[in-house]
A and B are shown apart, each in its own frame.
Chain A
Amino acid sequence: MQIYLPIAEVSVNAFLLLGLGGIVGLLSGLFGVGGGFLITPLLFFIGIPPSVAVATGANQVVASSVSGVLAQFKRKAVDVPMGVVLLLGGILGSALGIWVFNRLTKLGQIDLVVQLAYVLFLGSIGLLMLQEAVRAIRRARRPGARAHVKRHQHNWVHKLPLKMKFRASGLYISVIPPALVGMAVGVLAAIMGVGGGFIMVPAMIYLLGMPTKVVIGTSLFQILFVSAFTTLMHAITNQSVDVMLALLLIIGGVIGAQVGSQLGGRLKAEQLRILLALLVIAVAAKLGLDLLIRPAELFSLFAGARG
């Protein structure tokens, strides 16, 4: 069934969009990532104009994270104070990121920077996560050996001022590191047009030392508000949110998110991390190859006066 999208000005198969939303929602529920890093390139691929894809992707992320956050709240897996600190950093970072984005657009190399950022960040995070998860599984398989938890390591992070108790995470740390993590994610999220969960989840585990059980809920909490902010900004400044496209992606996405969070409760944390790592590496590898291999068509068209 074909459907004409009023803002994107293209006609697309409705079931394709439902399926796409479903896959992304599934990942969102499973891993606590918004799925923006997947939905935006996938929308490009089916012929949605890039500006519409980025803005509408943000709207879809709102829906799937609401769904996911509610499911996580039920399981008491959201650290609200931590989420708020990350969010404040995130909004600041997002504003900074939009400024950087506009500078790069003026220089005419935004596409390249976005692609390189994807390859660099997705690639290195994916490899790190894979290595870590494989090591954890090996440790678990060796009988007698016990995984040593490094979480309560004392280093310079613990000497910073403005300490705060994060009960759900079982942490007593300064608010500066989480605010900085939120801000860094905000900058990258604005430049790369994604929610940023794939960067935030490992940062929360490895940098802040948060327990895996609250990481997903808390990152979804932050992503929900940052992507709502982004959607509104895109709708007002670029008029590039396609509500018809969003609706189809959302219907698929919310169902996927629920199924994903059910599945996530049953899978082991290490298995989840290996799956997410493989997915992230696959996307990075695809984008990296696109840069290295001579494209079949050297020319590309951009409608509109700018660009």
Chain B
Amino acid sequence: MIRLLALLALLFALPAEAGPEEVVAGLSRDNIGITAAFNGSEVLIYGAVKRDAPEPGGAPLAVIVTLEGPAHPVTVRRKSRAFGIWVNTDKVRVAAAPSYYAVATTGPVAEILSPETDVTQRITVPLAVRAFAGPIEVTDARPFTEALLRIREEEGVYSLDEGAVRLVEDTLFRADFRLPANLTEGDYKTRIFLLRDGKVVDRYQTAIYVRRVGLERWLYILSRQHAAIYGAMSLALAVFAGWAAAALFRLIRS
């Protein structure tokens, strides 16, 4: 069923005004189940360039693949010194920042992507972070968004990997992504851009569905929908474990 949907999505994703070059792509997996033993996941995104005519000359072909996790609002706080101690003094609220954002390209972004295209398609990492929420309380918000990007890059959830997309014979390409272990549930938007001369020739979009499965899913749903039962269960577990340990140690001693 999911495969069928993916196939349908693939068919509909093909732009109506198909140019001389089109992307045909697939994913090594279109859904990821988060189990208790989940420790990150490898995703291979592969595809080919379909042509009706011989390859046009001039600017070389480039491919950019992006993978974007579900977005959430984020508050960025800055500490400064007040009364001799370091305290949070200013804050900026960002309306939506993706929980994960990875960009892989065939070459240096500066050479293969024009700034205008980047702005309209929102491709590079800084453009993935959306506008501010509410009135801005600080005079210069830029250090705050820079900090957001810097901290997330250090955590390994935002990344730009130039040269990670391998393009063979200007036709076949593949990109490997390593999704981190602390993945948020949701739809991971996957985009593939075919570029020539800094401009988009064709694009393709699909999604990877990341969901909790098994025990993880059961616990999560219980905690949201039957909070009192979940709380009582947690308590019962704690009391039982405490009693069992005491009884066990008494047994060992006697």
Specify which chain B residues have a CB less than 8 angstroms from the CB of A108 in the assembled complex.
88, 91
Majority SS at the chain A contact face: helix
Residues of B within 8 A of A10 (CB): 181-182
Min CB–CB distance B130 → chain A (angstroms): 14
Contact of A301 among B148, B220, B228, B237 (CB under 8 A): B148
**Is the Cβ of B242 less than 8 Å from the Cβ of A231?**
no
Q: Is A102 an interface residue (CB 8 A)?
A: no
- Are A66 and B227 interface neighbours, CB within 8 A? no
For the complex, give the distance between the alpha carbons of A257 and B37 in Å.
28
Q: Tell me, yes or no, whether B9 is within 8 Å of chain A by CB.
A: no
A43 within 8 A of B: no
Which residues of chain A are near B85, meaning CB under 8 Å?
Answer: 291-292
| A156 beta carbon closer than 8 Å to chain B | no
**A241–B238 CB distance below 8 A:** no
Chain A residues near B239 (CB-CB < 8 A): 62-63, 66, 228
Point out the residue from A246, A258, A295 that lies within 8 Å of B246, measured CB to CB: A258
Establish whether residues B223 and A4, one from each chain, have CB atoms under 8 Å apart when the complex forms. no
A250 and B39 alpha carbons, distance in the complex (Å):
23
The answer to the question of B35 belonging to the interface, with a C-beta cut-off of 8 Å to chain A, is yes
In the complex, what's the smallest C-beta–C-beta distance from A297 to chain B, in angstroms? 7
| CB <8 Å contact, A66 and B230 | no
Q: Assuming A2-B181, A232-B232, A243-B219, is B243 touching A67 (CB within 8 A)?
A: yes
For the side of the interface on A, what is the size category? Answer: 35 or more
Contact of B235 among A3, A68, A232 (CB under 8 A): A232
A294 to B82, CA, bound (A): 12
Residues of A participating in the B interface, judged by any CB pair closer than 8 Å: 1-4, 6-7, 9-11, 47, 59-60, 62-68, 70-71, 74, 108-109, 111-112, 228, 231-232, 234-236, 239, 241, 243-244, 246-247, 250-251, 254-255, 257-258, 262, 290-295, 297-307
Which B residues fall within an 8 A CB radius of A? 34-40, 72-81, 84-88, 91, 93, 99, 133, 143-144, 147-148, 151-152, 181-185, 212, 215-217, 219-220, 223-224, 227-228, 230-235, 237-239, 241-246, 248-250
Task: Identify 27 residue pairs between A and B in the complex whose beta-carbon atoms are under 8 Å apart, listed by A's number.
Answer: A4-B216, A9-B185, A11-B182, A62-B235, A62-B242, A63-B239, A66-B242, A67-B242, A70-B242, A108-B91, A109-B88, A231-B238, A234-B231, A235-B223, A235-B228, A236-B227, A239-B223, A244-B219, A254-B244, A258-B248, A291-B87, A298-B79, A299-B78, A301-B147, A303-B99, A304-B74, A305-B93
